[in-house]
């Protein structure tokens, strides 16, 4: 289960994710991002309440990162220890802007 809380303000978007980002839930996030990012120059992903991320979730993050490199910037905030471990092993700590 994944709960996505969206906050759009002008060109700034904040997505707070809660639960599990895996093969079954990643498509929902992918769709939300695609529908919302038009004209957005700053994307913040708040992962404070994200319990789990698999390769399917990483795929969505990577694709969002690629989009935002062209459109502006993307930040990932409040990364907990569990998720950070995945980011480290996969080299995502180098390609994401983690705060």
Partner 1 sequence: MKIELKGRIDSNNASQVEKEIWDRLAGHSDAAVTLDATDLEYISSAGLRVILRLKKTYRDLKITGVSSEVYEILDMTGFTEMMTVEKAYRVVSVEGCEVIGEGANGKVYRIDRDNVVKVYKNADALSDIQHEREVARLALVLGVPTAISYDVVRVGDSYGSVFELLNARSFAKILAEEPERMDWCVAEYVKLLKMVHGITVPTGKLPSIKADALAYIRRMQHTLPPEYGEKLLRMAEEIPESDHMIHGDYHTKNIVLAGDEVLLIDMDTLSVGHPIFELAQMYNSYVGFSEYNEDIVLQFQGYPASVARAFWKNSLRAYLGTDDPRRVNPVEDKIRCIAYADLIDWKCRHGVENEEDRATVALWTQRLIELLGRVDSLAFDVPADGNTPADELDIEAVTENLPRVLAFVDERLEKVACPMKAQMQIDVAVEEIFVNIASYAYAPEKGKATVRVEVSEDPVTVTITFVDHGIPYDPLAREDPDITLPADEREAGGLGIFMTKKFMDAVTYTYKDGQNILTLTKNL
Q: Which is nearer to partner 1, 7 or 80 (CB)?
A: 80
Residues 38/10, Cβ–Cβ less than 8 Å:
no
CB of 60 to partner 1, least distance (A): 9
The footprint of partner 1 (CB under 8 A) covers 22-24, 51-52, 54-56, 58-59, 62-63, 65-66, 69, 81-82, 85-86, 89-91, 94-96
Q: Which is nearer to partner 1, 7 or 34 (CB)?
A: 34
- 74: CB partners within 8 A, 6+ apart: 42, 43, 44, 45, 64, 65, 68, 96, 97
């Amino acid at each position: 289960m994944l709960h996505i809380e969206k906050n759009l303000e002008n060109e700034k978007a904040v997505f707070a994710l809660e639960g599990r980002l895996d093969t079954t839930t990643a498509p929902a996030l992918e769709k939300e991002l695609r529908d919302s990012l038009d004209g957005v120059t700053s994307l913040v992903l708040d992962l404070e309440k994200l319990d789990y991320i698999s390769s399917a979730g990483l795929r969505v993050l990577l694709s969002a990162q690629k989009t935002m490199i062209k459109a502006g910037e993307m930040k990932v905030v409040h990364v907990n220890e569990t998720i950070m471990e995945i980011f480290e092993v996969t080299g995502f700590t180098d390609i994401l802007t983690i705060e």
